[in-house]
Amino acid sequence: MTAPQQIVIVGGGLAGAKTAEALRTQGFAGRLTLLAAENHLPYERPPLSKGYLAGQASFDEATVHPSQWYRDNDIDLRLGIRATAIDAAAHQVRLADGSSIGYEKLVLATGALPRRLPLPGADADGVHYLRTREDADAIRAHFGASKRLAIIGGGWIGLEVAAAARTADTQVTIFEAAPLPLLGVLGPELAQVFADLHTAHGVELRLGARIDAITSTDGAATGVRLADGSTIDADAVVIGVGVAPDVRLAELAGLQVDNGVLVDASLRSSDPDIYAVGDIANHDHPVLGRRVRVEHWATALNQPATAAAALLGQQATYTELPYFFSDQYELGMEYLGHAPNGSYDQLVVRGDLAKREFVAFWLTDSRIIAAMNVNVWDVLDQIKPLIVGGTLIDTDLLADPDVSYATL
């Protein structure tokens, strides 16, 4: 295969910026265009629910590269420009201003969008989702000692917003439909750890909550009404009920789409000239032996190097295990692997759940499929070979903090 001369990347988030970087690092010298719908330099989103939201970190710290870097690397970064259609047969991307750009190879990195809740009152002022810098700024404006924040959804985003809001002394109520926050991701034992953490920090948890409406006066949110008729007053409402991959362009391009863009092990879509990376990529994972679409920072950070290599004609497959992290108050955690609901038959804990200092392991058929370290650090590199190698585990030894991972 001859090397392409013109590559277009659609989506100026972490995955898009890292793809541009990887292409240049790997020697691509042709024309490189990065289309970014947002009017900001590509940035990382994790700070939007942590340090940036809490007002403790600047936006510049979250940008992937300063603007000079794009100039130095001859990357045609177009901010505030949305791609509106892809003509795959003609190898053209149409832009919102009516112009078009041709490509030899295209990378889709359009990310994900918050799932909307079709609740009465959800369009009132003071109701927010959290995906962009503007969203974070709008939510932070409701923080403060005399303010009350209602958060709908006890997932990672809801809990992190709660932690940032409490840090600013805001009163916080979380409404979660399930019996515990994070229940679907972590299972009951570990979900309880996060419930206890937030209760200890003064968050009111309304579990098993059925919400009827967001109440409002003169178009501004005033709280939440539950199915039992009771109301809880709030100055603002944050809805965090998950995201959906933004596959609008992929569908217009005629790509195979099913919970994201279907890509092979090398991140190539059903069109050999189009690749997908980050939150939108539903990847045929060679190590896990199944498809996964991972909505986390590390995937957006790491997949681009593989996509770039494959685009430039090398044999490359993405083999990294899914990884993510979260920070809430004094709790920091990392999670490696993939243990969706119903996929494991055993949970083993090494350490102390009550002190929130432990490593948890999800196993199936006595093999670790995922691990989470909470306030314990530098262990994932030792645990990773056990997951990748499918090592048969003695669970008594696994639970014993005096047994080294190498021994296992």
Q: By the criterion CB under 6 A, which residues form the site for ligand FAD?
A: 10-16, 35-38, 45-46, 48-49, 82-83, 109-112, 130-131, 157, 246, 249, 278-279, 295-298, 300, 324-326
C-beta of residue 334 within 8 angstroms of C-beta of residue 373 = yes
Query: In the bound complex, what is the minimum distance in angstroms from residue 392's beta carbon to ligand FAD?
Result: 30
At closest approach, how far in Å is the CB of 325 from ligand FAD? 5
Q: In sequence order, what DSSP letters do the residues of 337-399 get, joined into one string?
A: E---TTS-SEEEEEEETTTTEEEEEEEETTEEEEEEEES--S-HHHHHHHHHTT-B--HHHHH
Q: Tell me, rounded to whole angstroms, the distance of Cα 357 from its chain centroid.
A: 24
Q: Min. distance of Cβ 11 from ligand FAD in angstroms? A: 3
Closest approach, Cβ 321 to ligand FAD, in A, equals 13
Nearer CB in complex with ligand FAD: 232/255? 255
**What is the three-class DSSP state of 279?**
helix
The four Cα atoms 25, 31, 37, 41 give a dihedral, to 10 degrees, of 40
Nearer to ligand FAD, 69 or 325 (CB): 325
Least separation, in Å, of the C-beta of 364 and ligand FAD?
23
The residue among 80 and 313 lying less far from ligand FAD, judged by its C-beta, is 80
Determine the Cα–Cα distance for residues 114 and 9; give it in Å rounded to an integer: 22
Q: How far is the CB of 405 from ligand FAD (least distance, A)?
A: 23
Q: Which residues contact 156 (CB under 8 A, 6 or more apart)?
A: 49, 182, 185, 326
Contact 255, 282 (CB under 8 A): no
Nearer to ligand FAD, 139 or 193 (CB): 139
Compare residues 9 and 195 and give the one whose CB is closer to ligand FAD: 9
Closer residue to ligand FAD, CB minimum distance, 323 or 358: 323
Closest CB to ligand FAD among residues 156, 405: 156
Q: How far apart are CA 337 and CA 207, in angstroms?
A: 28
Nearer to ligand FAD, 232 or 336 (CB): 336
DSSP annotation of 3:
P
Tokens for 65, please give them.
């590269």
Under DSSP, the state recorded for 321 is P
Whole-number minimum distance, CB 147 to ligand FAD, in Å? 20
Whole-angstrom distance, CA of residue 287 vs CA of residue 387? 10
Q: How far is the CB of 297 from ligand FAD (least distance, A)?
A: 3
